[in-house]
Amino acid sequence: MKLVLIDIGGTSVKTTMANELGNLGEVTSFLTPRADYRQMFSLLTEHLEQHYAMDEIEGIAISSMGIARGDDTIGWRSPIYEAFGTTLVPELTNYYQVPVTIENDGNCAALCEYWLGNAQNCSSFATIVFGTSIGGAIIMDGKVIRGANRLAGEFGYFIEKDPEKQYEIWSISGSTVALVNKVKQANPQLEMAELDGKVIMELVSQQSPLVMPHYEVFIEQLAMNIYNLQYILDPEKILIGGGISASQQFIDDTNQKLQELTAAIPSNVIELAIEPCQFGNDANLLGALYCWLEKYGN
């Protein structure tokens, strides 16, 4: 079985080929058309036909930013997603004459870990995924918990105190991109065009004073939300995904901060620790595959 997997993110759109066992081919990408999301279909089909023999595929599985509405569309009162989210599945289905599925990226990452990764054999767990924003998901008894408004697991909407504003959502104040931007803004004299989460962690390993004050706030913010999340859901595990989760120091620093938090709260009754998602940046692609197989696989 040959399937095309697509991961639509805030920065880039990644694609690959896979079989039903989850064996991935080479991942290729192009920049997300943020200036005009209406270009998504044309850019995507051009990219697919340049890299794959599309007449041989049996299906297309998509992971996407945005809220999965349960009717093969992505979006929620947002002009960003309405520009492609409501039309992409029927357009690709008609164009290639194969079954197409679409699911929220946070849910895909969690389902990947449930299927093949660090949440196998877990009856309940949550994922927090860092990148351009912050996504997440809640899995109970092998099913995604979606909520009345399909917003369950959207941890990026947690409210945070921001020094420059009264309130801000966590996706804007505490994502990997937010951390990178804060370091850039605090150090305008430096050439940091290539600064990303990986470079941030390299600077953290050097205890760079350019990064550490912002990183420490970033980790404390994360640890407090993990603590709260544990007491709200009480899952077996909380997994952290996104590119930054590949850093063992990031995982260790988060767990160290969790130990400090729990030690400072006498009424705490549980030891907290997080684990990384096993599949990192491939989790969204593999989770999309899992969704397609659940719907159309034999």
Within 117-211, where are the H helices?
170-174, 176-186, 197-205
Range(s) for CATH 3.30.420.40 in the chain?
A: 3-104+282-296, 118-277
Q: What is the structure's pLDDT at 79?
A: 55
Q: Which CATH superfamily is domain 118-277 in?
A: ATPase, nucleotide binding domain (3.30.420.40)
Q: State the sign of the Cα–Cα–Cα–Cα dihedral 106, 243, 235, 294.
A: positive
Q: What is the structure's pLDDT at 119?
A: 96
Q: What is the structure's pLDDT at 37?
A: 83
Q: What is the structure's pLDDT at 66?
A: 78
Q: Which CATH superfamily is domain 3-104+282-296 in?
A: ATPase, nucleotide binding domain (3.30.420.40)
Q: What is the structure's pLDDT at 131?
A: 84
Annotate 45-96 with DSSP letters as a single string: HHHHHHHS-GGG--EEEEEESS-B-SSS-B-SS-HHHHTTTTTHHHHHHHHH
Question: What are the φ and ψ backbone dihedral angles of 241, each rounded to 5 degrees?
Answer: -120, -175
Q: What is the structure's pLDDT at 81?
A: 65
Residue-by-residue pLDDT tens, the chain, 298 positions:
999 999 998 889 999 999 999 999 999 999 998 888 889 999 999 999 999 999 999 999 999 987 777 667 776 555 566 667 778 899 999 999 999 999 988 899 999 999 999 999 899 999 999 988 898 999 998 899 999 988 899 999 999 886 677 899 999 999 999 999 999 888 887 666 678 888 999 999 999 999 999 999 999 999 999 999 999 999 999 999 988 999 999 999 999 999 999 999 999 999 999 999 999 889 999 999 999 999 998 7
Q: What is the structure's pLDDT at 46?
A: 97
Among candidates 253, 256, 276, 262, which has minimal Cα distance to 230? 262
Q: What is the structure's pLDDT at 111?
A: 95
pTM score: 0.86
Annotate 234-265 with DSSP letters as a single string: --SEEEEESGGGG-HHHHHHHHHHHHHHHHH-
Cα 296 to its chain centre, rounded Å, is 24
